[in-house]
Amino acid sequence: MDLVLVSVRGFCAGVVRAIQTVEKALELLQAPIYVKHKIVHNHFVIESLKQKGAIFIDDLEEVPQGSFLVFSAHGIAPNVRQQAIDRGLKIIDATCGLVTKVHSAVLRFKKMGIPTIVIGHKDHVEVIGITGESIETTFVVENIDDVKKIPYDQNQEISVVTQTTLSLLDVDPIMEAIRARFHKIHEMPTSTICYATTNRQTALNESLDGADLLIVVGDPQSSNSVRLQEIGQRRGIKSLLIPSPAFLDPSDFTTARRVVMTSGASVPEVLFFSVVHAIESFQSVNRIYFGQPEKKVLFELPKALSVFAG
């Protein structure tokens, strides 16, 4: 059986920065370090950080006054930030820079008096943070049908941003529907879909020719991992989302001749290869490496770390 490992996979720069932020905070400031929401959507990563002294919370009331608080890579709404300030918490913001750009765009358009259509999943923490910048001037669109529900006249000047972890395959038809309905649309100079998300989707799509099984190593809560699984499903390929080796079923590989493997942006290499090794333990495998690894990009850690460390 050929096991095709897609080289463009795994951690993106925003995830690396977020994880390193928590690790550095634990090193410089010592435990406990509180983190608002899961720093990234991956159980393996979260458990590792918990063991080092990180405490993940959803309600700021759980955080003792004066404690250190890290905001996750997904971003945060202004009212939550203000609540943290009011409680005297020492904030370390690990929001991905690409997500921050989307927040800034919503605020810029708000000042111009232009409402913003947010293409994304309304219950996703990133979208909750984006719309939190201006509840009264944002409207979330999840699919083409939602475009009909946008509460503005066709002559209304609007702006459009997207959740950074979506698939271009999902966004493009929604954008076409929006363009067909509205005459004056402000779009970002470049798509607000994260470049790493796009790179992973493109590399996977190119690797799937002749595949009869796709394995995506990733957490079911990870939007970008689910989008990778959907790429395989759209092409009629049996596509499985595997959080860890424990979720593998050898029977899925019985008739497979070409299996493609990739991983979501919040999946560490050690977890990816633990799944590879588990497959090799019950199946004779010919490893094939598809494509070239992407150029590594590093984001600077939050300045608050050095400020609080003195």
The set of catalytic residues is 126
Which element (helix H / strand E) includes 187?
A: strand 185-187
Q: Which residue has the tokens 């259509």?
A: 117
CB neighbour list of residue 127: distance below 8 Å, 6 or more residues apart: 118, 120, 121, 140, 163
Does the CA dihedral 266-271-275-277 come out positive or negative?
Answer: positive
User: Cβ(266)–Cβ(42) under 8 Å?
Assistant: yes
User: Cβ(272)–Cβ(62) under 8 Å?
Assistant: no
Rounded to whole angstroms, how far apart are CA atoms 186 and 179?
Answer: 10
User: Cβ(30)–Cβ(55) under 8 Å?
Assistant: no
Which element (helix H / strand E) includes 169?
A: helix 168-181
Rounded to whole angstroms, how far apart are CA atoms 14 and 156?
Answer: 35
Decide the pairing of beta strands 2-6 and 286-290. Answer: parallel
Q: Which residue has the tokens 């300030």?
A: 85
